[in-house]
Structure 1
Amino acid sequence: MDKLKEYAEIILRSGINLKEGQCVRIRCGVEDYHFARLLGQEAYRMGSGYVHIDILDNYLDLSRFSYQKEEQLDYIPHFLIDEGRVMLDEDWANIRIDNVGEGNVLKDADPGNVARNRRALGRELKFFNRSLMADEHSWCVVALPGKSWAEKVLGKGATVEELWDVLKPILRLDRDDPTEAWEEHNNTLHARCDRYNGLKFDRIRFRSEGTDLTVGLSERSLWCGGPMPLADGRLYNANIPSEEIFTTPDWRRTEGYVKVTKPVSVREKMVTGAEFRFEKGKVVSFRAEEGEDALKEYFDTDEGASFLGEIALVQNDSPISNSGLIFHSILYDENASCHMALGAGYPSCLKDFKELDSAEKLKDAGCNDSMVHTDFMIGGPDTELTAYTVDGKEIPLMKDGNFLL
């Protein structure tokens, strides 16, 4: 219980940075409800105005995708839309506990049905997701060790406590003062971003086995990492843990080919061995050893799903990567490797983004527009990364997967 309370405090203080009177929504799977309740109790103790818990139930979704008629899958109840608008108007903080325990439940669902429903949901709640991605309200994604997740990561018969032992150093719960440890780590990420922003990159090139990818940046692109600022000056962490620095590339300027180095869940289906080829920013061909049909459905979501919205740098020598494990949670696996996201870009990673007050202006500035955003890991121990500045300089950034600067 002490360990869970310590974890809850990190999420509430370093994650959403809860302020006095602020309301909180917590989304979680069934087996994580006990921790959501604890988060809510601690939030009330810290002065929250109201706490609401939503249950994410993949088993119920599986029944919907199996039995409903196609047109029924488009139905999104209006109260969900109203709820989103109220939460934005009242500046609610949002916490999502990754439903890792039910990660395989939808693997056999019809990918077309899943895609149709997710398109409808993304269309109706695009205003809400766009607001969070613009850092207008605090949000945080975390994961909680459970029996099923422990066995996915460590093998059959693994215990929750064994998984906790793996996660403690990753979450910095093995430190005397975890909150202070996170502050020190965030300062390191901020310093790295400041250095890179000062160098004014025009494009960066990834090279490794199966990858030769050049990603162009816009003149507004900013490197971000660690806590992000809110309008009232508070800082929050969208992901715990986080090892990355990231930026919004110019969606029109990606060229080359890339091999995905870790499995990733797309449309609730596991995709392994994926490869993509880009021309003029767009994915023009793709393949996968497993889950290729899910990729096809993903690209059919909208035009923006075929373009990059984010590029992130993570060195190979990091706590998550050094564990040598696949966590089957994008929250953890993306923080073990450099990655790219297909779909929506982050407006807050553009200089003076508040001036870009429409989707058209954001897109003109290089920020991709889409209803989806999915990360694909592309880094590894052989990754070499080179940056090219706007004034023509060539700067090596990574060798053997680790930062040089």
Structure 2
Amino acid sequence: MSSFTEKLNTYAQLAVEVGVNVQRGQHVVINASTDVRELVRLLAKHSYEKGAKNVTVNWQDDELSRLKYEMAPFEAFEEYPEWEAKGKEELAKKGAAFISVVSSDPDLLKGTDGKRIAAFQKAAGKALHTYRQYIQSDKVSWTVIGAASTGWAKKVFPDQPEETAVQLLWEEIFKTTRVNEENPVEAWKKHDQNLHEKVEHLNKKHYSALHYQAEGTDLTIELPKKHVWAGAGSVNESGHEFMANMPTEEVFTLPQ
């Protein structure tokens, strides 16, 4: 059985080689919290090994974010730094690859003024419109991966001690992302191929509805006309394949 360090290293390799498929001479941008520094260092290491020209890390800190929402004047949330928006836009124009690591405490802003959150989201949406167009249209390679933090771990495993909860969440992430398989990179490529085959099949069928039946379940979901099924893999403007979402979202689903 591989050690945690070995699994984390493999996870970083997957994000770089399969998630964004880093190319030689490419700029890589990593968005992450300060509580996952070890993972970020491994992401940078594998990016450089794949030939990245430069790796930029945009750090976030939960405590600092909370302090701002509690103490900054309201007008601070009605603007977004122009230099930051232009910087992201410029990197996207030059074909950078973007890796976002999700780990922030889900209760980070609980109890804060919702008007502040709404104001900042509005300001960010306007300032980052062009940058987000590059991401949403898959012109550039991007991926979102999960990381185990204390806040998330206690949500997923509320009955476990803090340290145990974090360890359990990491194991779920490793299992879900195929890190535990003999050749995770090849396993992902086969998985992506399988998804494409399923997508092609579903798009040919043009189903009008999906009907789910099981014990205690009888659910019909009508589908819009001319709907299109899509898999996890995408191709950027340069013709390179990438995996936008490493499927850890099921791990981060909160209990109802």
TM range (shorter): 0.7 to 0.9
Secondary structure in structure 2 of the residue aligned to 1:216: coil
Rounded Cα–Cα distance in structure 2 between residues aligned with 1:183 and 1:22:
22
Question: Where does residue 96 of structure 1 map in the other structure?
Answer: 100
Overall identity of the aligned pairs, in %: 23
Question: Where does residue 135 of structure 1 map in the other structure?
Answer: 138
Letter of the 2:13 partner, please give it: E
Q: Say if 1:63 and 1:168 are closer, same or farther in 2 by CA, change over 3 A.
A: closer
Verify: 1:18 aligned to 2:18, yes or no: no
Contact 2:82/2:127 (8 A) holds in 1: no
Question: How far off is 1:148 after superposition?
Answer: 3.8
Question: Where does residue 205 of structure 2 map in the other structure?
Answer: 199
Question: How far off is 1:187 after superposition?
Answer: 1.4
Q: Say if 1:200 and 1:52 are closer, same or farther in 2 by CA, change over 3 A.
A: same
Q: Say if 1:120 and 1:207 are closer, same or farther in 2 by CA, change over 3 A.
A: farther
Letter of the 1:142 partner, please give it: I
Rounded Cα–Cα distance in structure 2 between residues aligned with 1:104 and 1:58:
10
Rounded Cα–Cα distance in structure 2 between residues aligned with 1:77 and 1:211:
46
Q: What does the per-residue CA deviation read over 1:114-146, in whole Å, with 9 as the maximum and x for residues that have no partner?
A: 011111101110111121111100000001223
**TM-score relative to the length of structure 2:** 0.86
Question: Where does residue 6 of structure 1 map in the other structure?
Answer: 10
**TM-score relative to the length of structure 1:** 0.56
Secondary structure in structure 1 of the residue aligned to 2:182: coil
Verify: 1:58 aligned to 2:66, yes or no: no
Contact 1:226/1:242 (8 A) holds in 2: no
RMSD (CA atoms): 2.5
Question: Where does residue 122 of structure 1 map in the other structure?
Answer: 125
Kindly tell me the number of residue pairs found equivalent between the two proteins. Answer: 245
Gaps of 5+ in 1: 244-319, 321-326, 335-376, 378-405
Q: Say if 1:40 and 1:68 are closer, same or farther in 2 by CA, change over 3 A.
A: same
Question: How far off is 1:28 after superposition?
Answer: 0.7
**Structure with higher helix content:** 2
Contact 2:141/2:244 (8 A) holds in 1: yes
**Structure with higher strand content:** 1
Rounded Cα–Cα distance in structure 2 between residues aligned with 1:206 and 1:110:
42
Structural mapping, 1:24-103, within 5 Å: 24-100=28-104, 102-103=105-106
Question: How far off is 1:63 after superposition?
Answer: 2.4
Q: Say if 1:215 and 1:109 are closer, same or farther in 2 by CA, change over 3 A.
A: farther
Greater relative CO (CA pairs within 8 A, separation 6+): 2
Q: What does the per-residue CA deviation read over 1:147-169, in whole Å, with 9 as the maximum and x for residues that have no partner?
A: 44333222331243333333332
Question: Where does residue 226 of structure 1 map in the other structure?
Answer: 232
Gaps of 5+ in 2: none
Rounded Cα–Cα distance in structure 2 between residues aligned with 1:78 and 1:57:
21
Letter of the 1:216 partner, please give it: P
